[in-house]
Amino acid sequence: MRITLIVLSVLFSVSLFGQPTGKAKKVLKLMGSRFEITALATNDTIAWQAVEAGIAEISRIEKLISSWEPNSQTSEVNRNAGIKAVVVDAELFELIARAVKISKLTQGAFDISFASMDRIWKFDRMEQKLPDPTIVQEAASKINWENIVLDRANLSVFLKEKGMKIGFGAIGKGYAANRAKAIMEKIPGVKGGVVNASGDLIAWGENPQNDGWKIQIADPKDKEASLGWLSMKEGAIVTSGDYEKYFTSEGKRYAHIVDPKTGYPTVGIKSVTIICPDAELADALATSVFVLGAENGLYLVNHLNQVECLIITDQDEVITSENLQLNYQ
């Protein structure tokens, strides 16, 4: 029997079977999202120590990258857009630098300066009237990853245009999952674990049967049914979907992911699942594929090493990358 991670819509839940020597699991709200943190260790005490260490690390990162916390370095960068460069911690600088690299890789489909749209759209699952196009256009004019100026020598960040903002909603939970794993696995006696940040999941090490983690992909039309499953020893699986954050307008469904080039929410895709070794990269790529669309997104993934994806279109068509091994029995 395998450990099973069942993907329900965009959420992964962990059920542990068998009798590991020690285990701990905690579910709580962090970074505005549901986190589920699991550790397997030589005894329960060490497992709980690992879970609490993972929680502490995620809380630290939330304070560092939050654009809602007025005293965070991210907020300071945003306040000084078009005014001056802001010196930040090396950790935040490197996260922004990696985000800019992904923007370049995806030709702007991923862009942390999309945060200028944060008050334009309300993804509350309700029927809405689309905002005035001039308002959308004005906010979208501030989105441009090439206007994020990084000075590595001084560890400073400068947003060229007044009104620009950066935000980490499309990469932050993946980064937090990576960091929690890094802290947890260093604790002596920890054998393996899972950090699941509302669909941004990373698993590593031993499970009770030590034969790999089994991940079931849920059918978006029926949360109790599975489209198939895959197995991995270690790595990240990130799903971004329109199941919980969306709105409709004149019967058309708009996902919570905004196209940086237009300022409008994406259409055409229900969910994207990315499988790769790194949760931060998987998080960013899931957003990118949503924006690029199924054809262009699949082209990108098929040209990246150790990256696979599964796309479900709004017509319920299931599309997979070239090397994804999805099992159906």
Mean pLDDT of 274-289: 96
Q: How far apart are CA 57 and CA 283, in angstroms?
A: 18
Higher pLDDT, 268 or 73: 73
Please state the length of the chain. Answer: 329
Closest of 202, 219, 208 to residue 276, by C-alpha: 202
**pLDDT tens readout for residues 3-39:** 333 333 333 333 344 445 799 999 999 998 899 999 9
Mean pLDDT of 111-119: 87
**pLDDT tens readout for residues 197-232:** 988 889 998 776 566 777 777 666 666 677 778 777
Higher pLDDT, 220 or 182: 182
Whole-prediction pTM: 0.89
Q: How far apart are CA 54 and CA 204, in angstroms?
A: 14
Spatial contact of 272 and 309, defined as CB atoms under 8 Å apart: yes
Percent of the chain with pLDDT over 90: 60
Closest of 30, 48, 12 to residue 203, by C-alpha: 12
Confidence grade of residue 295 (pLDDT, cut at 50, 70, 90): very high
pLDDT at 2 over 50: no
Q: How far apart are CA 154 and CA 309, in angstroms?
A: 38
Instruction: Name residue, tokens 């600088």.
Output: 93
Torsion of CA 97, 205, 184, 172, to 10 degrees: 30
Pick from 249-253, 271-275, 318-322: least confident: 249-253
**Torsion sign (Cα): 136, 199, 128, 220:** positive
**pLDDT tens readout for residues 120-176:** 777 777 888 888 889 889 989 999 999 999 999 999 999 999 999 999 989 999 999
Mean of all residue pLDDT scores within the chain:
87
